[in-house]
Structure 1
Amino acid sequence: MDRSFTSSDEHDFLFISAEEEGVRIDKLLAARYPHYSRTYFQHLIEIECVLINGEPAKKRFIPEEGDEIEVCFQAVPEASIEPEDIPLEVLYEDEHILAVNKPAGMVVHPAPGHWSGTFVNALLGHCQDIAPNDDPLRPGIVHRLDKETTGVLIAAKTRIAHQKLIEMFSKRKMEKLYLAICQGRPANATINMPIGRHPVHRKEMAVIPDGREAITEIQVAAFNDKVSLVLCKPKTGRTHQIRVHLKHAGSPVVGDSVYGKKDLHPRQLLHAYRLCFDHPITGSPIRLVAPIPHDMIVWLQKLCGPSLCAPVLT
């Protein structure tokens, strides 16, 4: 999901001092901004309007000295989500999990500027018995895709599945393959470059020396004199990781308005093509493949012809 705030939002950046280390984030912010209540900051944390070193803050997070905090002050609505009758392209479903092919333009969960029409609204409309978790705005959510990224997105329908899937993502037990149409032709490589908040453009991520570990394997599957089809296997899950690493490699994703050139295509051509993992409850192997969206097929036909690079996508 896109975590960038709009230009109309009021932002503030602060660094944690030695005296503030060990204080829970909501309490710390309430002390820093006495005109706002602790409950208000808890709401901001719920809707991802508080970032710590570029990542959304957790409710009970205790920052350390030197941590960078970004706060986006919002008028926070009531933390409730309405089920909506939004069609979903279901790839797999059982009593514990649901997997869909997320379309471009769909935000994963409610956030400022996107209080309806999200995947969570659709999920609640599709499965009325989703088990609640600790976050009322993100029931069932175990991972995210950026707004314009398409492809495999899974959700948990039961509490035990939610806990186990979160753990599996954390322990890197999910095998992910993304397809990206990129400018130019990057070298095949394992990109092991840390990612953090851009030092100047604070709404962007970047490769920086003191960022968090980020690893992406990239392999060029097809190319011409202008663009390439790149297979991307992220081994970590940082914000905008694939997009940032491909920009760093000199081949940003076609249509990426933040890290590349938007005028090449109306959206970033990045697709979560395949996800392989063991079922969180039964342990059975699951292999999910999301059909490639039409706009990417048009580009692939130019690169690969009618076969759509089938040999490398199996």
Structure 2
Amino acid sequence: MVVRRGDDRGLRRDRRGVDAPDANAGRGGPGPDPRWSPREPRRPGRGRRGVQRARHGLHRPAGLAGVQPRGHRHRHRCPPARDLELRRDRRTSRDVRNLGAGRDRLRRRTVSEAFEAEPGRLDAVVAAHLGVPRAEVQRAIAAGTVLVDGTPLEKSHRLAGGERIEVDLAPSAELPREGPPLEIAWRDEHLVVVRKPAGLPTHPTENRRGGTVVNRLLGMGIPLSARGGPLRPGIVHRLDAGTSGLLVVASDDPTYEALAAMFKAHEAERRYLALVRGSVPHDRFEVDAPLGRAGARIRVDATGGRQASTVFEVRERFHRATLLEAEPRTGRTHQIRVHLSSVGHPILGDRRYGGGGDDARELGLERPFLHARRLAFDHPITGERIDLEDPLPADLEEALRRVGREVRPA
């Protein structure tokens, strides 16, 4: 990687040094101070000792006690501290009221989230991830609402990285119960596996408290474990809003903890179907590329990203597309989508990662062609083997039918 640094024009180590050439050299103007450059041509004769004045130049400002160079008020630099104090004193009562209201809003902040930890001190890692003051996180840790792998720990606890952090900075209002009901693939008193439709987010956020899988399950009267937090009750893994397929949700706390440990250890088997652009040359391949976040997007980050691996296998080849089965070995956000985009075969319909365009529109795709078709795991309470499959929904079946009609060139 080439790191471009800003130029150093205008920087000098010392006013007496010769690191930077004089701007007037070679143009007939005065040279640098003759006291320090005795061999400089066109220098004026050595005058009396003291401050030397170059002809046609500016006077050097007189030295002032306690004032650093480049800090003079008439040069519009930083104002002296006493001016800042005067400005603070001039705040109106309205300013003070607005400032107090802002602080009250900060105190009323509600943040509930679960995420995988980065290495570092617990309170610092949580504060950096959520973008909140560390003192606010420390109060939550003291109250026991910050959990590391389900256990409250001290604020100074050192995280190795990869632990599951659950944060609840303030209690949230009860989530609305909504309909219509979801289609259930499997259920008992401990857990439920649903067939998530495309366009439905997995769980609420502070800005969107309805229209999710969680709200639908609550509307169906299905109990959900509180261990996931107020906004993620029972959620041990998630599917992107545009992804359809099988999703397991815990109904009680012991099941939640066991499922969370199972997914963290990658013991649950998950298979996805993805229709990608272009002809994939290999029948089976693996993408092992660390992923990092850049704003709302995920990208391959070889230096600061987290390890991520996905195995792909060709299911069927078409004229301008390939149907793949994806098996993620890790569970990073947007992992399958970013890995396929990074090797030049983005998922058709995935506009965020390069899969939009005319070919996707011709197939009628309004969302990424990505479907969680299989989910297999051992029941954490009974030990029963649960192995479920979900057929492609109608919109993806239609896209597959259209791509199959394309005629290969002779």
Residue of 315, 321, 336 corresponding to 1:242: 336
Q: Secondary structure at the match of 1:239?
A: coil
By how many angstroms is 1:194 displaced? 2.8
Q: Secondary structure at the match of 1:262?
A: coil
Counterpart position of 2:202: 108
> Is this contact kept in 2: 1:181–1:230, CA < 8 A?
yes
Q: Secondary structure at the match of 1:24?
A: helix
- 1:59-99 residue CA offsets vs partner (Å, 9 max, x unmatched): 9787989x9xxxxxxxx994431222332011001111101
Q: Secondary structure at the match of 2:352?
A: coil
Q: Is residue 202 from structure 1 mapped to residue 302 from structure 2 by the alignment?
A: no
Residue of 286, 297, 309 corresponding to 2:397: 297
Counterpart position of 1:71: none
Identity, % of aligned pairs? 35
Of structures 1 and 2, the larger Rg is shown by 2
CA shift in 2, pair 1:283/1:297, >3 Å: same
What are structure 2's unaligned runs of at least 5 residues? 1-119, 146-150, 162-169, 406-410
Counterpart position of 2:317: 223
CA distance in 2 between partners of 1:196 and 1:41 (Å):
29
CA distance in 2 between partners of 1:35 and 1:153 (Å):
34
By how many angstroms is 1:302 displaced? 3.8
CA distance in 2 between partners of 1:35 and 1:235 (Å):
34
> Is this contact kept in 2: 1:26–1:38, CA < 8 A?
no
CA shift in 2, pair 1:59/1:126, >3 Å: farther
By how many angstroms is 1:197 displaced? 2.5
> Is this contact kept in 1: 2:234–2:251, CA < 8 A?
yes
Counterpart position of 1:149: 243
The alignment's TM-score, normalised by the length of structure 2, stands at 0.57
Report which of the two has the higher share of strand. 1
Matches within 5 A, 1:62-141: 78-133=172-227, 135-141=229-235
CA shift in 2, pair 1:39/1:87, >3 Å: farther
CA distance in 1 between partners of 2:258 and 2:247 (Å):
16
- 1:276-312 residue CA offsets vs partner (Å, 9 max, x unmatched): 111111111111111211111012224568xxxxxxx
- 1:231-275 residue CA offsets vs partner (Å, 9 max, x unmatched): 101111011110011111211000101112334221111000001
Matches within 5 A, 1:4-83: 22=121, 24-25=123-124, 28=127, 37-38=136-137, 78-83=172-177
Give the total of aligned pairs: 260
By how many angstroms is 1:127 displaced? 3.1
Question: Partner amino acid for 1:194?
Answer: A
> Is this contact kept in 2: 1:177–1:272, CA < 8 A?
yes
Counterpart position of 1:270: 370
Counterpart position of 2:326: 232
Q: Give me the CA root mean square deviation.
A: 3.2
CA distance in 2 between partners of 1:162 and 1:225 (Å):
44
